[in-house]
Structure 1
């Protein structure tokens, strides 16, 4: 049975975005924890924030992803939102700190994440269909 994709809204003081998540074990764990409030961290052209949930690395976890991927960093219990190169990228790739569970994609242009500042409050909630 195909389930509906899950949409979330991520907000910070200077903006917000929505993302569409696939139905994965990590997505299910994350959505059970929503809404959540956290604090933004930046690492190159990546925003990440602690979720307070702990999940295992999935078998299809990846370290190099497309800009706008919504990923879960199981080593740090954090959502990672890369929109460009990180300090360990080779060239223009989005290389995460370690393999992450891929949850879905940001809707629209992920470069809006450039307005997130280290220390910004972050809120994540489910978008009603």
Structure 2
């Protein structure tokens, strides 16, 4: 089973396909949610009401467009390029994050998210 989510902000939106993991199931259970976008280098992240432990397979360096969950901050992390702690062009997250899935389209769309934007997360096809 896969889940599809839609992420919307004032300047645009994208969708993502999530694998079935304990974290993605917990996230699906609280959708829809609205939050406030934060940016950290070329990463967008935002708080969620979900609190989960680190899963096996959690990683700190991921591909652009990975949908990750930062357990230390109960936040969804959406990297699309280097962060302040990256080495070279890699997407290095603040710490090991649970991997949920990937954005369906070009992750560079996230460059239109501004720090402080309202952001909404909902299931596609509910």
- Place the TM-score, normalised by the shorter chain, in its bin: over 0.9
**Structure 1 position 20 matched with structure 2 position 20:** no
Q: Which runs of 5+ in 1 are unaligned?
A: none
State the number of aligned residues: 126
Q: Equivalent residue of 1:30, what SS?
A: helix
1:15-41 Cα shifts (integer Å, max 9, x gaps): 000000000000000000100000000
In the alignment, the residues of structure 2 paired with residue 59 and residue 70 of structure 1 have an alpha-carbon distance, to the nearest angstrom, of 16
Q: Which runs of 4+ in 1 moved over 3 A?
A: none
1:89-127 Cα shifts (integer Å, max 9, x gaps): 000000000000000000010000000000000000000
Which position in structure 2 is the counterpart of 1:55? 52
Which position in structure 1 is the counterpart of 2:77? 80
RMSD: 0.7
Please state how far the C-alpha of 1:53 moved relative to its aligned partner. Answer: 1.1
Which position in structure 2 is the counterpart of 1:128? 125
